[in-house]
Amino acid sequence: MAKVAIIYTGETRTMETAIHYFKKNVLLNDNYHVFAVVQSNNIELDNLCIRKTFGNNLKKINWFNKNDSKWTNLREKQLEKIFIDDNWKNYLRNSGSLIEYYQMHLAYKLCENYEKDNNIEYDFVLRCRTDVIIKDPINFDIIFEKNYIKELLYKIKEFLNSETIISEKVLVMFMNTFYNEKRIFYDYIANSKRTLTNYFNKLLEINDDDEFVNKLLTYLQNGSYIISLRENIVYFVKRKLMNYINILGITYGDYHDDNNLYWFNAESQLENICLVNGIDIFNSTTILEGSSLYGYNHLNYFNENNELKDDKYSFFIKRY
């Protein structure tokens, strides 16, 4: 079975109503281990909630102090490097943009130390926020099986009315849905890719279906790529790639893109560090997932009995 490290970070605002869905749909077996760096106004209560819910899946937890001098000094040092309007600097200083990656970095270090102490190495790393509700499970033991991959490719081919499975449209949708085939039928506001590795691009030069499936499986198991939901809300990568991505927590703002006016925001910094390190990026967002970010409506996701609706979303940010 795959060994998965979960990077669990953020403020505990709505955690109490989201954490049970996280337990049900993310912590699928004993090989899913949580490394948490969490910020709270009631540590005693929230610590009890996390430990009781996660049980043995929780391996390490640290409570983050936003006034910690090491953090505030690093924040100001990085802000000095970012040549933008002071209003934007103040936004970065007071929003979650920098702090989320710093917490991610700290949680990654907990994971790294746990690996050394226990002589193990994880296969994948999944990052999730404390205020996110995960509706659709991500099962790392199924999504890399050849039969599953082959069947899913043909489902996508039929859905897109494509003549072949070896097409860019099919492959991009596959990469954005293979971790949960239900997403094929969801309504997207984004379903994108930014590829750098020759291996991915060469997949489309293959003429034989079986060879294509085999080499796609190799890419899924060993390739350099990141799968993200709404760019930086939920994402997962091969374990080795987190060696590159985690340092965003202490280098935020170092990754400039002249073609992007908002190169300094949280989404762009994650994208840019992936591009610098040759990591292919696959990102998708459905209409309901996107609407939870800035215009949260509780009734979009819950029925009158306060139960989750089975609708076209895999996650949403629980605002209240």
Whether 163 has a pLDDT exceeding 90, the answer reads yes
Question: Six-digit token pair at 169?
Answer: 């449209």
Segment 74-78 long-range contacts (CB within 8 Å, at least 24 positions apart): 74/102, 74/250, 75/99, 75/102, 78/250, 78/251, 78/252, 78/253, 78/254
How high is the pLDDT of residue 190?
A: 85
Correct CATH for 4-141+228-276+287-317 of 1.10.10, 1.10.3470, 3.90.550, 1.10.287:
3.90.550
H/E run at residue 227: strand 225-229
Burial class from Cβ neighbours inside 10 Å (0-12, 13-18, 19+) for residue 44 reads exposed
- Across 55-79, average pLDDT: 97
> What are the domain boundaries of the chain?
4-141+228-276+287-317
pLDDT tens, residue by residue, 134-158? 999 999 999 999 999 999 999 999 9
How do beta strands 188-194 and 225-229 pair? unpaired
pTM here is 0.96
> Is 27:147 a contact under the CB 8 Å cutoff?
no
pLDDT tens, residue by residue, 229-252? 999 999 999 999 999 999 999 999
pLDDT tens, residue by residue, 187-215? 998 889 999 999 999 999 999 999 999 99
What's the rounded Cα separation, in Å, for the pair 59 and 283?
29
pLDDT tens, residue by residue, 263-315? 999 999 999 999 999 999 999 999 999 999 989 999 999 999 999 999 999 99
